[in-house]
Structures are given as structure tokens and as C-alpha cells.
Amino acid sequence: MAESSIMFVLEKLGNLVVQEASLLGEVEGQISLLRNELQWMSLFLEETSATRTDDRRLKLWMNQIRDAAYDAEDVIDEFVFRLEHKWQRRHHNLKFLGFLPTCVIFVDKLPIVHELNARIREINAKIEKILANKSNYRVEYPMASGVWSSSDEVVSWGGKRLPIVEEADEESMTRQAEAVKQMLKEGEMERRVVAIVGKGGLGKTTLAKKVYNDSEVKQHFSCHALVHVSQDYTILELLMEIANCIMTDRSLKRKKEDRLGEKVYDHLKEKRYLIVLDDVRSINVWQELSSYLPESNKSRVLITTRNQQIASHAHAKLYPLRPLSEKESWELFCKKTFLVGSTSPPECPAELEDLGKKITEKCRGLPLAIVVSGGLISRKEKTRASWEKILKSMEWHLSQGLDLRSGILAWSYSDLPYFLKSCFLYCGIFPEDYDIKADKLMQMWIAEGFVQRRGEEIVEDVAEDYLEELIHRSMIHAARRKWDGRVKSCRIHDLLHNLAISKARDTKFFEVHPNIIFAYPFNPRRLIAHDPQNVFQHLHGCRLLRSLICSIDLPQVSFMSCLGTKSLAVLDLTLRNDHSSQHLEIPEEIGEFIHLKYFSFKNAHGISFPWSIGKLGNLQILDLRNSSLVIPFSIWKLHQLRHLYVGSSKILSQPIMERCFSGHLGLDKMSNLQTLYLEPYSWLESCGLQKLTQLRKLYLYGRSFKNSSEFYPFNLVELKLEECHLKQDPMLTLNKLPNLRVLKLMRSSYIGEKMTCSSRGFSQLEFLRLEGLDKLKELQVEEGAMPTLETLQIAHCEEMKKLPHELSKLKKLRQVNLVRMNRQLIKGFETAGGKEFEYHLHN
């Protein structure tokens, strides 16, 4: 990952020159020399990023390059921190600092500049020796065959997403799903266990999900849950996942295992249920969990496992999953390789067929290997010379002593362009079998500096293209997609998860606790601690630490331990029990994390942020969802914020005296905001949202309003309202928003009885959801309204007796989803031609 490190340092050097140009006179020569050397290194590594790296001398040389880049980054960060810290300290003691002569301020910073000059001179000397070693020790860096070339680029997907071929042949998967469905539905009254058994990469999870989501299966079983069983599972966690699928009781998370197990048992005992346990690797899972699953009512448990002994221990009826046939393998390969951008059935050119079949044969019928290979090849030139190089590269990776699956996955990883390698490895920071929120993942990529700007595009759009590229290559899997086809959440196959962790360890990309060996010096770049235990006592003095992602029980330890490093860019903390924040105090020193760009703090309640949070001038993402905190008004100083998720936390108002002396601080100054999720207060009435020209997504929760005109930002694309208790019809105002594509009016957002979509209103609206509007009786749609609407969802609006017949005139409306609605409405909808739509009904 040396090339990624260099690109990040180059960006920081550029920012340093711009921000501190007046100070860098004597350092300018050394900085220019460093930039030039790093640019050449970056170009060299980029062009050869997929080269075979079995040469130990080559690996050593690349590690030294990476370490030199890290040293440069550390020097820059420390320089910026010391300048900022000196300014803040003087500003605190001397309120008249702004009136001091510029020369006084300049002289005050000269010692720091002299030290910067010396440190960069040392790094340049170190780099010169590294470059000399390449020649002295004859380190070779030959180009590999079939690598990512400079002509390749990540496709800009844009708009609606193209279909992705998953790790299965559709025809074969449908046939297998029918067989498993029959095994679930037939047989005796008592509970039965069915097990899909096969080695990794055969598509067990894909098959289980296809069965689980089947409409017939949903109708046959009244209660459903799908749970992924990780290697470090606990029965309490598995029970909680099952409970979350079958119940809505929020108090469940505070119960112990036996009490939670009793609740699950009691809920299931009178129902015909289906529980799917995906990727079971230990007999203990069934031994410990089965007592909480009642044996009655033709209920079923579906297990996926690689180990037939586990299935036998559970007395399961086996469905062995076999590799694909030669014909099925070839068809899947062609779909993955030739489908994108094509409207006709995928077909391999005759001159490439023999090479394509040789590649497919090496996958030995493993669907994961086939789609990964096809995803890689689809990005290459469709020429014989190109495919011959690809085959040679594949054969080389398979000759390195790895098993088939590991060899092909390592080959696919090596083919990634350098900027996608970092993004892929980052997926390894999440626990195995974890449902990764796409927005969170992309925002962390951006904060880490992995996403490169591309023309005038915003970095969020570039990050989304990176994500789609990894999905197309089958390096990660789109678990759920939004209404418009964009990724909502993703997962990574456990074999690829293992690969990400292995490569990250080799390149010192991140360290995962508890797999860490605390050898001196303990200085990780990124630290992942899902079960931290004693890890925090080792953090003090970790000057290299740039990212800390952890789930913790003792937050007071974590914050104080983090203060050993002032260079964190990413801080992601999740509290694991409800009582862990009772005695937590966030120290004033949190304001010293001036490099922080991403800060997430989950499950924290009843504590306050210090005023110094307003010093985090580089913060771009603040995520406090699932927390209830008290936030000082100084948060409105964070003008670089792009995504602000406050949730139910409370932002204090600025005192009048403070406003007189320091000026008004408010939401209207946050000109970079793209996403805003918070509970509205008086600031909304005083300043409105019109000044937030970049705002695209707005979610307001709570508080009564006079009317919806108070939240009318012109460029808004997505709006969600909940518990706002609007008395006036919000459609009368919101229908004028010219760019609005998504509108969600949730529980008690409107308390009126009638809602009208007027003619020519909502000209761009594509998705409309109405949920929990208890008093709504009538929805009126005038002719010409919502001409672009594609999806309509209405849930828990029991007072509605009918839907407007004008819906049938909406030419683009394709899907209607009705959940817990009046039977009279559903009957009338079907009678009026509702069956013309793709629609779903849920009781």
C-alpha cells in the first residue's frame, strides 16, 4: 500500500504549501525536493501496482518507501498541530492577538519552521538511500502480465445501477432453491433442521438468502429470521439478532442470555417459523441455541455450513451443494465478463472462447472463483493478446502454493488499481459477516484520503463509483440496495475478509485486536479493536495512530488513552452496554485532535461534549446517531462539516452575551453541509435552511411546526420528516422543491386528514413513502402531479380506505408497497387495476 501512502502525503504537502506559504521560505527547497521524489515514486508504483511480489528484496524496498512516506506525514501533521496549538494558547491568553504585528507572530513560529526544515532534510536523505539501495542490491520490479494498465480506469456508473451478476448461475440457483424449499415445506409436524453443506465459495449463503426471500416461503412461515454466525459469536448476540427480526421490543437489548432466550422461545412457540443460521462452523452453536427454538408447528431451521459433522449433530436433512458443471461454469463466466453495458445475452467472441474456457476450468466449478475471475477480465481489453497475459498471470498466482480459492482471490486483489486496494482492505476493519452501511464506508474512505478527486465531481460521487467497481469485481457484495439501485449496505465474503486482514497485516495497513502481539515499539497506523480488553493501556504514545475503530465497555479509559496521539483522522467508538457511559467525561483535550475528519460516537447517553469540540476545524463527518448527548453551540464553528448526524442529541443555544462579543454562530454558516439529521430547535425559525446551498439530504425528527415552509432548501434531493406534528398539508409547500427525488413522511410527521399532490407538483419525485400517519384518510393526486414517480410505499395508515385512481395514470409508477393497511383499501386497489404494478402486501 506504499502508493496510497505517498498520494496522501503529496496531498498534505500541497495543502501545507498553500496554508503556510508565508512561513515556508527556508523550507521551500526541501519540500519541493520531497514532493518531486514522492511524485516519481508514486508514478512508478502506480504503473506496476499489480506486479508479482514474491521477491523478498522487493517487499523490503516497498516497505521502506511506505515508512518514509509515513515519516513525512508525521512531520507534516506535527508541524501543523504545533502551529495550531501555539495559536490557540496565545489566543486564549491574549485576546488582542489579532492586533499584534505580523512580524511578531512570524518570529514566534520560526523555531518550529527551523525544526521542520531539519526533519524534512532527514527524510529526503533517507529516501535518497532507499533509491540507491534499489540499484545497489539489484531490486527488480518487472511488469506482470495482465495487470491494470494506465489506460484502465474506474467506470463512472452514474444514475440507475446496472445489474450485478452474483456468485451463482441463476438457472442452477433457481433449481437448487426449489429443492431446498420442498425440504422445508414437506414432512412431519415437529421442528426440522435442513443443512446446506459445501466448501467455501460454492454459494451456500446466496442459496440460503434466495430461499429465505422467496415469496412462497414468506407466506408458508409466519415468522422469519436470518442470522450470520461469525467465528467469534456469542449466543447472546445470536439471540439478539433473532429477536430483532421477529420482535420490536426495544427493552430486549438489556436482557441477559437466559431471559432473552425465554422471550424468543415464548414468541416462537405458537408460530410456524423459519430461522436461517448462516455459516455455522462449530457444533456448539447448535448445542447452545437449539433449546431456545421450540419444536412445533412444522417450524424449520436452515443451516449453512462447510462441516457435515455439524449438520449430522443437528440431525439435519442434508442438501449437499456441488460445484457447477462445465456448462454452468461457462455460462456464469460469460455473464460476468460480458454483461455490463450489453442488452443482448452475453456471448464470448469465437476467437477468445478457448482461452476463456481454460480460465474457467481453473476455477473448478466454484461460483465465487468464477465471478471474481470474470469481474477482473471484464475490465480488460477483449483481445487475444490481453487474455493470454491474463491466463499467464492467473497460472502464476495458482502456482504459489496456495489453494485454488486463495490463489484466485489473491490474483484478483493484485489486479486492483492501487486506489482500490486501500478501499478493499478497509472492508477488513469490520467484523466478519458484518452488514456494512455503504454511506459509512464511503465516508471513512474519504476521511482516510483514499478517494481521489476527479474533475468537478464531489468526492462522494467518486467514492460511490469505487464501491460499484469493487462490487462489479465481486470483491464485495451488495447486501441491500436503495430504491434507485444505489448500494445501501454491503458485505464481504469470509474468504475475502480473511484475504483483506492478511494483506493488511503484511503491509502494516491496520492491526486487529486481539490478534496483536504487543511487541515494542507498538505503533500501529490503524487499530481495530472489536473486543479491546487491555488494548488501551498500550495506546499512550502511539504517535503513528491515524485511525481508531473500536467497540468498548469502558469509554473513560478510551478517551484518555487516545490523547497519546494528536494525529487521529478517524475515531469510531461504539459503547457496548447501556451503563458504560454513566461516568464518562469527554475531556477538553478532545479539541486538540485538529486532524480529525471522521468522528462517530454510538450508544452514548446523558453526557456532554466540551466547548473545545469547536476546535476540530477539519472535521467533515460527525455521526452521533443512536446517542443522546449535549452539544455546545461551538459546533457551529465546524464549517468543514459535510455530513452531520445529531439524531436525538441536543445542541445548546448560543447565549446573547457570547453572540455580542464573538458574533452569531448558527447553522446558516455551515455552507459545506450535504447531509443533516437532527432534532430542530429555534435555530430553524431564525435562520431557515435556504443558505445551505450544498444540502442534499435532510432528516428532521421531533418538534411541532407551523408549516413545512420552514424547511425549504432549494437544492434538496431527499427529505425525511418524523414526529413533526405538522397541521398544514406539507405537500402544498414541498411540491415546489425542484430537485426533490425522495420524500418520506414518517410517524406523526403530519396530523391532518387529507393530503393533496397538486398539478405539476413534485416534478422530479421518484420515491414517496407515507408511514404512521394515524389520522390520514385521503390522498389526492391531481392530474400532472408526480410525473416521474416510480415507487410508492404506504404503511400503517389504517384510516385510509382507498387510493386515488389517478395513480394508474402515472406512467413511470412501477412498484406499490402496502404494509398494514385497511383491507378495504387493498381490495379496492386490486379491483381498480393494481395488479398491473409490481406490488407487495404485508399484514
Each residue's pLDDT tens digit, 501-532: 998 888 888 888 765 554 545 677 888 887 65
**Separation of alpha carbons 477 and 499, rounded Å:** 15
pTM comes to: 0.86
pLDDT of residue 129: 87
**Do 564 and 671 fall into the same domain?**
yes
Q: What is the CATH number of the domain that holds 649?
A: 3.80.10.10
**Separation of alpha carbons 498 and 500, rounded Å:** 5
Residue 441 reports pLDDT greater than 90: yes
**Do 543 and 690 fall into the same domain?**
yes
**Do 294 and 280 fall into the same domain?**
yes
Query: Is 304 within 8 Å of 205 (Cβ atoms)?
Result: yes
**Do 312 and 197 fall into the same domain?**
yes
| Domain end (from 471, 501, 531) | 501
Range of the domain at 523: 510-695
**Separation of alpha carbons 790 and 816, rounded Å:** 9
Burial of 428 (0-12, 13-18, 19+ CB in 10 A): buried
The answer to whether position 639 is within a domain reads: yes
**In the chain, pLDDT over 70 holds for what percent of residues?**
79
pLDDT of residue 472: 92
Residue 770 reports pLDDT greater than 90: yes
Query: How many domains is the chain built from?
Result: 5
**In the chain, pLDDT over 90 holds for what percent of residues?**
35
Residue 772 reports pLDDT greater than 90: yes
The answer to whether position 161 is within a domain reads: no
Query: What is the pLDDT confidence band of residue 696, given thresholds at 50, 70 and 90?
Result: very high
Higher pLDDT among residues 251 and 708, named by residue? 708
For residues 182-209, average pLDDT: 87
pLDDT of residue 249: 66
Q: What is the DSSP letter of 52?
A: -
Residue 533 reports pLDDT greater than 80: no
**Do 742 and 685 fall into the same domain?**
no
| DSSP-derived pairing of the beta strands 477-481 and 487-491 | antiparallel
**Do 491 and 522 fall into the same domain?**
no
The answer to whether position 772 is within a domain reads: yes
Q: Which three cell numbers mark 87?
A: 495559536
- Mean pLDDT across the chain, nearest whole number? 82
Smallest CA-to-CA distance from 225 within 205, 243, 237, 208 is with: 243
Q: What is the layout of strands, in order, in the sheet containing 436-437?
A: 436-437, 487-491, 477-481
Residue 456 reports pLDDT greater than 60: yes
pLDDT of residue 164: 57
Smallest CA-to-CA distance from 242 within 256, 221, 263, 222 is with: 263
Smallest CA-to-CA distance from 636 within 660, 613, 618, 655 is with: 613
Q: Using alpha carbons only, give the angle 638, 639, 643 rounded to the nearest 5 degrees.
A: 80
Residue 304 reports pLDDT greater than 90: yes
For residues 541-561, average pLDDT: 69
The answer to whether position 717 is within a domain reads: no
The answer to whether position 485 is within a domain reads: yes
pLDDT of residue 746: 94
Q: Grid coordinates 469485481 are at which residue?
A: 473
| Domain end (from 476, 501, 526) | 501
Query: What is the pLDDT confidence band of residue 699, given thresholds at 50, 70 and 90?
Result: very high
For residues 409-431, average pLDDT: 91
Q: Grid coordinates 511524485 are at which residue?
A: 39
Torsional sign, CA 735, 741, 745, 749: negative
- The gap from C-alpha 209 to its chain's centroid, in whole angstroms, comes to 21
Residue 148 reports pLDDT greater than 50: no
**Do 424 and 553 fall into the same domain?**
no
| Domain end (from 114, 136, 158) | 136
CA distances from 219 to 214, 268, 840 (A): 9, 16, 12
pLDDT of residue 83: 78
Non-local (6+) Cβ contacts of 709 within 8 A are: 733
pLDDT of residue 641: 95
Cis, peptide link before residue 514, omega less than 30° from 0: yes
**Separation of alpha carbons 561 and 566, rounded Å:** 11
For residues 185-205, average pLDDT: 86
Torsional sign, CA 502, 507, 513, 515: positive
The answer to whether position 293 is within a domain reads: yes
For residues 341-349, average pLDDT: 69
**Do 121 and 49 fall into the same domain?**
yes
**Separation of alpha carbons 358 and 351, rounded Å:** 13
For residues 319-324, average pLDDT: 91
Q: What is the CATH number of the domain that holds 202?
A: 3.40.50.300
Q: Using alpha carbons only, give the angle 651, 655, 661 rounded to the nearest 5 degrees.
A: 125
pLDDT of residue 151: 37
Higher pLDDT among residues 610 and 345, named by residue? 610
| DSSP-derived pairing of the beta strands 742-745 and 767-771 | parallel
Query: What is the pLDDT confidence band of residue 374, given thresholds at 50, 70 and 90?
Result: very high
Query: What is the pLDDT confidence band of residue 116, given thresholds at 50, 70 and 90?
Result: confident
**Do 373 and 496 fall into the same domain?**
yes
Burial of 11 (0-12, 13-18, 19+ CB in 10 A): middle
**Do 525 and 632 fall into the same domain?**
yes
**Do 70 and 174 fall into the same domain?**
no
Neighbouring CB atoms inside 10 A of 707's CB total 14
Query: What is the pLDDT confidence band of residue 445, given thresholds at 50, 70 and 90?
Result: very high
Higher pLDDT among residues 310 and 835, named by residue? 310
Q: Which three cell numbers mark 182?
A: 420442498
pLDDT of residue 146: 39
Torsional sign, CA 490, 417, 460, 4: positive
**Do 666 and 793 fall into the same domain?**
no
Query: What is the pLDDT confidence band of residue 144, given thresholds at 50, 70 and 90?
Result: very low
The answer to whether position 266 is within a domain reads: yes
Residue 578 reports pLDDT greater than 80: no
**Separation of alpha carbons 287 and 295, rounded Å:** 15
**Lowest model confidence (mean pLDDT) among 91-105, 400-414, 788-802:** 91-105
Residue 557 reports pLDDT greater than 80: no
The answer to whether position 712 is within a domain reads: no
Query: Is 566 within 8 Å of 541 (Cβ atoms)?
Result: no
Higher pLDDT among residues 102 and 253, named by residue? 253
Query: What is the pLDDT confidence band of residue 830, given thresholds at 50, 70 and 90?
Result: confident
For the stretch 67-84, pLDDT in tens is 888 888 888 888 887 777
